[in-house]
Chains A and B, each alone.
Chain A
């Protein structure tokens, strides 16, 4: 078994993936009732089992993607970069938007890892390659492909949540958002892109809607014929951030709400 630097395949991967697939289809989105979870698991397994984990291609994942992708309702796609925690808390609390991790494919794969090895049993539970060790590893290839398909499926208004407290800039060309998603939005289906630029509560305001990297993002998108808007600290998300910082000055409410009996 080869030795790598990242954590190995999640133990009981099959049970976890199957359980999530059935949970998602049965309990959350019964209209996806035609999804065959066993087939989906098998197609995932065959994408990487017994293979050198530095040699994974998008062809390996074709059957899985085919079986597990599903249409996304218009105006609900929510892309994100460097805002993982808050964007997912937001979609859990507000069912109006979907991130990739709220689709069947993303839901099954979130926080789980997997990789194969040419020797028996074909799955490496000890370690898996980091991106720095090789780019064509099972995880990177999976998420790049899933992100591309997610962007392609978007229609109507697309939302993007970016982090204006990051020193290196809210929009980075090296991120999955900057390198894959924006180039796979379909101008025939997507009418507008709404950017929500969030600052950490009490965090630095490194960048706002008028910032450099946002200007760059806008020009890339405008060149592809998308209409763009940008809002600093989109209110509903800011309210969510305030849940865990209720006493911060940025979270002071206009009316002091003490109940009147």
Chain B
């Protein structure tokens, strides 16, 4: 009886500890290297040059992978610097069409959708060097050529980690080669500011913009549909950004809730008053089954139900 009780306690503790740390037995606190990283990077490289954007011409994807890998393997994973990716950038570099650069902060998914995979705009993730690494994790280890699949350092553990340094280098390169009208998409509903400092745009992109190649900087501040209007053009951190860019000598314009982007945000909130189209007559929008009410209604019902349960629980 005691033995089985003891084993249950041990089992429960082990399970508890497992759920506590994502990476059981790993050195670091962050997720480990993405499985099959090499196949993914090489595959994406060819996908890009053959299908996504063949205009960039021929690239040596195996060499690109080697250069990428050599930036961080067999080194202290807390001592990887942006310039370690210099060769990778040289091999994967291609020009960015003028007027297509799109910078952003705190709205990655939105930017992905809005850019249209390079057709409307070319965000960093739509360049070859950004495309191959987007959403992936990687790191190596000192005194071993292997990748660490168990865990990788987080920013809190060390700044000079493989992933952070990659994006610093990629962002700087992207900014350096941007030209014409530059667009920046900021989130006006974020606590802590639409224009974060420190941040990638502030620290690695603005300093690398080329004054003689940039004709104008267009800032879009867009609030979440059901989010608070914390910041707008001319206020708080956006004002700081506008002033900084003007001081640097750029021609700057700023628009709140730019319509095109609003429409995209409205996809998840089609019934919000901010999203109502004056051309659509309500009667024709509702079929016998209101399938187009979708998300926002379901959310409303759910929230009401939860609220009811909560009040019920409080009473008893």
Contacts and interface: CB of A to CB of B under 8 A. Distances in A.
A11 interface: yes
Contacts of B113: 89, 92-93
Contact of A231 (B229, B235, B266, B291): B291
A192 B288 CA distance: 12
Given A250-B277, A253-B277, A261-B232, A27 B135 contact: yes
A157 B294 CA distance: 12
Contacts of A243: 114, 260-261, 263-264
B233 interface: yes
Nearest to B288: A229
B275 interface: yes
Given A11-B50, A235-B280, A261-B232, A23 B287 contact: no
A23 B267 contact: no
A226 B80 CA distance: 59
Interface stretch (A12-20, A180-188, A216-224): A12-20
A94 B46 contact: no
A94 B36 CA distance: 27
In the complex, which range does the number of interface residues on chain B fall in?
A: 35 or more
A94 B267 contact: yes
Given A257-B274, A259-B232, A246 B47 contact: no
Interface string A104-146: 0000000110000000000000000000000000000000000
Contact of A236 (B261, B267, B286): B267
Contacts of B279: 249-252
A176 to B, nearest CB: 21
B252 interface: no
Interface string A8-35: 0011100111111011001100000000
Nearest to B258: A246
Contacts of B39: 15, 18-19, 22, 37
Interface in B53-107: 61
Interface string B104-137: 0000000011101000100000000000000110
Contacts of A232: 284
B220 to A, nearest CB: 11
A253 B261 CA distance: 13
A27 B39 CA distance: 13
Contacts of B273: 254-255
Contacts of A257: 257, 259, 262, 274
Interface string A43-87: 000000000000000000000000000000000000000000000
Interface residues of A, number: 54
B268 interface: yes
Contacts of B34: 26-27
A11 B48 CA distance: 12
Contact of A239 (B229, B266, B286): B266
A78 to B, nearest CB: 12
Contact of B44 (A19, A37, A96, A244): A19
Contacts of B40: 19, 22-23, 26-27
B276 A259 contact: no
B301 interface: no
Nearest to A19: B43
Contacts of B260: 242-244, 246
A255 B36 contact: no
B209 interface: no
B205 interface: no
Given A16-B50, A246-B263, A253-B278, A235 B232 contact: no
Contacts of A15: 39, 42-43, 45-46, 61
B5 interface: no
Contacts of B234: 261
Contacts of A94: 267-268
10 contacts: A12-B50, A19-B47, A92-B113, A111-B51, A229-B287, A233-B285, A234-B292, A253-B277, A255-B276, A259-B233
Q: Give the 3 A-B CB pairs with smallest separation, nearest first.
A: A19-B43, A259-B256, A229-B287
Given A19-B40, A243-B261, A252-B279, 5 more contacts: A15-B39, A23-B43, A239-B267, A242-B277, A260-B229
